[in-house]
Amino acid sequence: VKGGYDSFMRKEIHEQPTAVADTLRGRFDTRGQLMLDELRIPEAELRSIDKIIVIACGTAAYSGHVAKYAIEHWCRIPVEVELAHEFRYRDPIVGPRTLVVAISQSGETMDTLMAVRHAREQGARVLAICNTHGSTIPRESDAVLYTHAGPEVAVASTKAFLAQVAACYLLGLFLAQLRGTKFPDELRETVAALQALPDKIQRVIDTEPEIEEVARALADEESFLFLGRHVGYPVALEGALKLKEIAYIHAEGFAAGELKHGPIALIEEGQPVFVVVPSPRGRDSLHSKVVSNIQEVRARGARTLVIAEEGDDDVVPFADVIFRVPQTPVLLAPLVSVVPLQIFACALATAKGLDVDQPRNLAKSVTVE
């Protein structure tokens, strides 16, 4: 059943190029135009949306966090991301021009389902992004965009996360196409780049042995910090979550800009810190700011584990370890930069002799509130 792998999680990490390719397949015409016929929400309504609220839990919520950066940039629609269990208890402002996007691998998470019901009662349109056909959340939503990751068995989500992120990109690109965008060239390039991503994800997976070796060497550590900015921020959060879930190690993700406002006090000799470095071709001076962050934590004794694009030499002087990922447009980077973190967590938990597929105290789908 595990196809020769020692765990479902490792198998599912290896299935990620296919999960993303299958999620993209059939959703573009030959000119690269998106066709999301399955969105049964009338186009006039999609054109008049004035706000998007993403509701989800756990890893699915981090995919929504990535979606916020992409959709706000491409479509100029404000996007809020809310943990589903907080949503209905805060008197959210929801109306007929709000699109609520509920993201769930299982489609059965009770917290997310209750938020969907609340949103619909308030008059919002609800679109589900879901991996499980016929499950409750899509059935109770106005429309559904299925991810085609295939069944995910390991409790800690990997391939479903990549497929959710890909589906969020599809939604953002579709809305931009429908409503017009200030960046038509960028959008065209993004569509082409998205289709090239499965191969790039595979290239990261091919580096698994090097990542595993580093993970084994760090198996006795008690705490890890993860820093990222822009779309690298939710990637940092997801990297930390993976370690907590399956390796039972204290791990925290931060927005790297927040470092100087508190977390830097945690840095002491030997503290391992992962840093997700934005592309040097990105906007503004984010890249150099994050490189400075690596320098700052290293100067205080941290051991730095850096996720950086191929060809980014600026990180070399300050990195104890570099995990390379292929170059991608900035907003698509999470699809490659999260992969080393997944492999790392899986390898570390395996090295500790833990059951990576069935971590203690967790369930694949939490059907109680």
Binding site for ligand BG6 (CB under 6 A): 57-60, 104-106, 109, 112, 155-157, 362, 365-366
Q: How far is the CB of 344 from ligand BG6 (least distance, A)?
A: 17
Q: Rounded distance, CA 281 to CA 304, Å?
A: 22
Q: How far is the CB of 106 from ligand BG6 (least distance, A)?
A: 3
Report the sign of the C-alpha dihedral through residues 241, 264, 328, 310, in that order. Answer: negative
Q: Rounded distance, CA 45 to CA 18, Å?
A: 33
Cβ proximity to ligand BG6: between 229 and 242 the closer is 242
Cβ proximity to ligand BG6: between 30 and 361 the closer is 361
Cβ proximity to ligand BG6: between 109 and 293 the closer is 109
Cβ proximity to ligand BG6: between 219 and 366 the closer is 366
Do residues 81 and 91 make contact, with C-beta atoms less than 8 angstroms apart?
no
Q: How far is the CB of 250 from ligand BG6 (least distance, A)?
A: 18
Helix (H/G/I), strand (E/B), else coil: 308: strand
Q: How far is the CB of 13 from ligand BG6 (least distance, A)?
A: 14
Task: Kindly report the length of the chain.
Answer: 369
Tally Cβ neighbours within 10 Å of residue 225: 25
Residue 126's contacts (CB-CB under 8 Å, 6 or more residues apart) are: 99, 100, 101, 102, 116, 119, 120, 140, 141, 142, 143
Q: How far is the CB of 234 from ligand BG6 (least distance, A)?
A: 13
Nearest to 274 by CA among 310, 311, 241: 241
Cβ proximity to ligand BG6: between 22 and 309 the closer is 22
Q: Rounded distance, CA 334 to CA 344, Å?
A: 16
Which of 51, 244, 352, 364 does the annotation list as catalytic?
364
Query: For 358, which DSSP code?
Result: S
Cβ proximity to ligand BG6: between 59 and 304 the closer is 59
Do residues 103 and 81 make contact, with C-beta atoms less than 8 angstroms apart?
no
The CA–CA distances, whole Å, from 137 to 53, 88, 125 equal 16, 16, 13
Select the residue whose beta carbon is closest to ligand BG6 and give its number.
58
* Amino acid of residue 348: L
The answer to whether 159 is a known catalytic residue is no
Q: How far is the CB of 248 from ligand BG6 (least distance, A)?
A: 14
Do residues 215 and 347 make contact, with C-beta atoms less than 8 angstroms apart?
yes
Token pair of 246, please?
A: 């399956």
Token pair of 135, please?
A: 């499950």
Residues carrying an active site annotation = 364
